[in-house]
Structure 1
Amino acid sequence: MSEHEHTPADVAPGTVTLCATREMHGGLKWAHLPVDTALWADESLRDGFRARVRREVNDMSAAVEVIEAR
């Protein structure tokens, strides 16, 4: 699979960034979704955020990585 790297700039203050990736012919399709840390702390909302970023790459089984500020 192609690499998609993350930097501290991918995470705005007070947020986590969800990254969904999908391998496609010719490369990697990816999408980022910033989520307020207070909302992300509510575990009942997490599946909805994951589904939203997966829809961006048109793959409801896509891997979702959580990027947090360092």
Structure 2
Amino acid sequence: MTLHRHTPADVAPGTITLCGTKEMHGGLKWAHLPVDRTLWADEALREGFRTRVRREVNDMAAAVEVVEHP
């Protein structure tokens, strides 16, 4: 599996970053979505954010990692 690493630049102050990845022939497709921490705290909104990242990688079953402090 190809590694995808995060840096401090991936997480802006006051946010978390959602990272979705999909293993593909020849490499890894990934997408980042920065989300304001106050919005992420609302459980009712979380699945919508995850769905948005999964659409970006064209895989509705893709794992979505929450990056808070790389």
Q: Same fold (TM over 0.5)?
A: yes
Give the AA of the match of 2:19.
C
Q: Tell me the residue number matched to 1:11.
A: 11
Please, what is the CA RMSD of the aligned residues? 0.9
Secondary structure (helix, strand or coil) at the match of 2:23 reads: strand
Give the AA of the match of 1:13.
P
Q: Distance in 2 between matches of 1:47 and 1:3?
A: 25
Structure 1 residues not aligned, in runs of 5+: none
- Give CA deviations for 1:22-43 in whole Å, capped at 9, x if unaligned: 0000000000000000000001
Structure 2 residues not aligned, in runs of 5+: none
Secondary structure (helix, strand or coil) at the match of 2:60 reads: coil
Q: Distance in 2 between matches of 1:67 and 1:40?
A: 12
State the aligned residue count: 70
**How high is the sequence identity, in percent, across the aligned residues?**
79
Q: Tell me the residue number matched to 1:20.
A: 20
4+ aligned runs moved over 4 Å, structure 1: none
Give the AA of the match of 1:22.
K
Q: Could you state the TM-score of these two structures normalised by the residue count of structure 1?
A: 0.96
1:69 shift after superposition: 3.4
Q: Could you state the TM-score of these two structures normalised by the residue count of structure 2?
A: 0.96
- Indicate yes or no: 2:65 matched with 1:62: no
